[in-house]
Every structure is written in structure tokens, then in C-alpha cells.
Chain A
Amino acid sequence: MTTTIDALAGQRPVPIPLNFSKPFWDGAKRGVLMLQYCPVAKKYQFYPRPVSVYTGKRNLEWRQASGKGTIYTYTITHRAPAPFKDVPPYVVATVELEEKVRIISNVINCPVDQVRIGMPVRVTWTKIGDETMFPLFEPDR
């Protein structure tokens, strides 16, 4: 991808992590999407939580995800909320990962009128602030 199309670039607020999501943000720095995995239910979960949503137990593992998925649904935002200023319409999408969890993010590097439900996407990373890397998605062609 030679041209980056990201309407919100440079304006994103720095995420405020909770203590138990540290492995997610550590993975992000290495460009790796990390997900919590419940070894009893044999299922993933996202966003990070203090317990397994399946069992209520705290024996969660962190596993590397493929970073690939499809668009479950999306919206084209025409009026951005604070702190975003003067940005062109952008896509907020719910991406269903191969690991069967959903993550809300932006679909970038793609004209907004070409986004479709079911479209394959892959993770791409953007830097927020001095040291945080955040997962966005782009078409997986």
C-alpha cells in the first residue's frame, strides 16, 4: 500500500488502558494482535476482561491472533465527535476476526463507498501519541 487514506490520522486520542489489558498493548507495540483466550470454553474474547466471560474464572491465556477477518457491519460517519476536527467522512466498522470475536475499528486505505459487509480485511497499525500502537483495518486483497 503506497498511499495511506486515514481521515482521523494524527487526531486520535491516546487510549487509556486498564491494568489487565497490558498484554494487548505490549503486543501492539510489536505489531501483533493479542487476544484473551479461555482454555475451558476454548473460545476467544474481546475486549480484555478481568475474567473469562464464559466461565467466570481467571485462568485466561493471551494468544496471537491472525489479524484477518471480515466486515460484520459498518457506518460512514459524516459528523465526527470531539476531538476530531474537519475530517472527511470515515468508516467505523465492526470487524469479525477469524478467531470469532468482533473488534470496532476504522477501515482505512479504502474509499468509503467501496466498503461492504463481508469484505475481507486485515489489521494494520497506526501510532497514537509517542508510543502507543493501535489496530486499524484495511482491505485484504
Chain B
Amino acid sequence: MADRDIAIIGYAETKIELRSGRSVYDLAGEAFATALEHAGIDKSEIDGMAVNASFSDAGNPFYSPVLSAYLGLELDWCQTTDLGGGSVTGNIARAAAAIRSGLCETVIAIAADAQSTENRGNIGAFRSEFQYPVGVMGPPGYFGLLSRRYDAQYGLDPLALAKLAVTQRNHALLNDKACEKLRRPLTVEEYLKSPMIADPIRMLDCVMVCDGASAVVVTSTRHARELGAKRLVHPLGYGERVNYNETDPTPDITAVGHTAAGRKALRQAGMSIRDVQMFHPYDDFLIAIVLQLEQLGFCEIGKGCGFVMEHDLSFTGDLPLNTGGGQISAGQAGLAGGGHNLVEAVRQLFGEGGPRQVSGKSNAMVTGIGWIPYGRNWGSSTVMVLEAN
């Protein structure tokens, strides 16, 4: 990817809404139409499609063909990716591989879910057998287990988490796509007083599940030029790790696959972590940002809270972070939530950040997190490095 042979030439993001009452196909349709318009291309150019598995139409074994039919697409390649929050970055890498191998030429990568309106998900398996009887409260319960362990090993500074919450909230105030319910100012004191739901996880540590969609148009740089695209963003590197320390029955649960995925993405991009100018980490919980800062090498293991306190992470700061508000302050569009982090990075690199536009930054790191295995940390870790043309 470092040879800049693949390009993102357009993007779209819907408003993120709580219980919108909309179908996932309607949300996907809006993102699709808006992305085509933004890229300035005709629908007939699209010959490939990748989409994330959604909660709202989970159980449909023909999801991507059904979606492509709703969109009036006749395709040479399509697929559903079930890496949860890692699916959107994963789909750009999959689109790049499909384009390079000649399967197709121009891909619409869609992320859509209406989880707060309809959830047909049934993860089942070991969860029905061993977890549901003991009342693990879904992701907050798991992140409660993780946070307690992290605190015992390294010390968890609530003021650092509060700073992340407030920084991201200030960004959401400048983002009219963010969920309206979350677009009110937040203070450090309010974060600290937020009720414990899975102690030490507070309510304001968590995302709010919403509905929403996003899309990006991916093609070869050569074809992007033929199409007359003026603005390009190149994926320079990508790393993916599904499950981590899987054959260690008693792993350190504060370690995650982003260590491996980040190393690979940076190596492909020919960069070091110090070269990264903007960071758009997947944020289902605030502590996930702290862990990723450590595991990706922005700081030493166990020093993530200190890093947060020492750096200005606002859109005018030294390391702008989740400048659209992140999912925690913009709302999590179900399993499409990672599209928010991704599209915000692309939007910034296109120079279209509006009132929250960063200045003087030409690259970004975007990450994904997906699925929660039994008694471990998260299972899927993705890392992508993007650069403006």
C-alpha cells in the first residue's frame, strides 16, 4: 500500500440517531448515494461492494447480495465482513486486495447498522452456555473486568479518562452529524459523578448504541486519475489481528492485538509511531483509547493515562484525537460504529473538517476493535494508516 496505488476518492456519513426507526437498508442507501455524489462518480462505476455484518439484519445469510440489490448494483465482487468494529478498516484493506487482484475496479465500502431500532443479533455459543447465567453485563461488564485488572497492574487515573471524555465531547459539539442527545457540554466533574454501571466502568465511559451509516469509495489510484478525482486519500498500511494470545490460557488481559497489528501497519507504511499526526482510535470505552495509546507505542505500557494528561488531544492540539467526537460522544452506530472514526479521519485529510478542521496534518491512524472473547480482552484489532495526496 505504501506505493499509494489505492485511493479513497469520496466518503459519506449519515446523522447518527438514537432509535431512528429506519431500516439498515435505508441508512446504507443514504450513505451510498451521498458517497457517490461526494466522489462525483456515476453508480455504474461501482463493481465491488463490502459491508459490515449488522445487528439489525443479523441472521440474513445473503446480506451483501441483498443490500447490493436494494442499491441497484450488479457486482463483480461483494462480501460481508464480521469483524465488528474492525470491519470498516478491514473492508478498505479487503477492497484494496480485491482491486489489486483484478476482481473489481471500484468498491463502495459501506458500514450501516440500526441496532438501537432493531437488534436481531444472537451471538450464542459459549455466551449462552457460560456467560448469560452469571449476568455479565455485555461489553460494560467485560470492560469492568478489564479496567479493574488494569488499575491493579498500572493504576487507572479517572482524571485522564475525564479529560478524554471532555475532549471528545467538545469535538462532538462541533459535529452536526453527532447524535443530538450527546451534543451538550460535559465537564470533568460530571464525568467523575457519572454512575457506576459495572464498577469501575461509569456510564460516561461507554458508548450509547445508536443507528447510522457511512461509506467510502475505494479504487486504484490509476483509475481515480482517469475519473478525474482531485482529492485522494491513500491507505498506506494495514494490520489486522483476530484473537490474541489465544493459546495462553492465563494471558495478561491488558495486552491486545493492536501491538501486532500496529507494527504491521506502520511497517507497510514505512513509518514509525512518532510520524503519526492524527489519531482516530475506535472508542467503545474510554479505557480502550488508553490501552491503544500504549499498545501502539505512543507511550510505554502502563503510562497511557500520563500520556493523555501530558498531551493536547483537541483538534488544535499536538495529537488531534477523534475530532468528530468519537463514538462515545457522537453515538455508536451499532456494528458500523467504526465508520465514524474512519470517515472523520478521511474528512480531515480531505480538508473538509469545517469548524473542527485540523491544520498542518497530512496523515492519520485509524483503528478498529471487534468482538469480545471469553475471559479475555477484545478479539479483533485493526490498524490503518492513511495519508492525504
Interface positions of A (Cβ within 8 A of B): 8, 12-18, 21, 43-47, 53-54, 72-81, 84, 87, 89-90, 92-94, 96, 100-106, 117, 128, 134, 136
Contact = CB atoms under 8 A, between A and B. Distances in A.
B145 interface: yes
A43 B149 contact: no
Nearest to B132: A13
B250 interface: yes
9 contacts: A44-B249, A53-B246, A73-B149, A76-B196, A77-B199, A79-B197, A81-B136, A103-B130, A104-B375
A77 B130 contact: no
B129 interface: yes
Contacts of B125: 18
A102 B249 contact: yes
B135 A8 contact: yes
B379 to A, nearest CB: 14
Given A81-B138, A100-B249, A101-B250, A117 B131 contact: no
Interface residues of B, number: 36
Given A21-B129, A75-B198, A94-B375, 19 more contacts: A8-B135, A16-B128, A16-B129, A45-B249, A47-B130, A72-B250, A73-B253, A75-B147, A76-B144, A79-B198, A92-B136, A101-B249, A101-B250, A102-B375, A103-B130, A104-B136, A117-B148, A117-B149, A128-B133
A28 B247 CA distance: 26
B199 A76 contact: yes
Given A74-B148, A94-B145, A117-B149, A104 B131 contact: yes
A26 B144 CA distance: 32
A54 B198 CA distance: 33
A112 to B, nearest CB: 9
A104 B149 CA distance: 14
Given A104-B136, A105-B134, A73 B145 contact: yes
Which of B133, B145, B200 has the most chain A CB within a 10 Å cutoff? Answer: B133
B130 A78 contact: no
Contact of B374 (A13, A47, A73): A47
Given A18-B125, A75-B201, A106 B137 contact: no
A78 B196 contact: yes
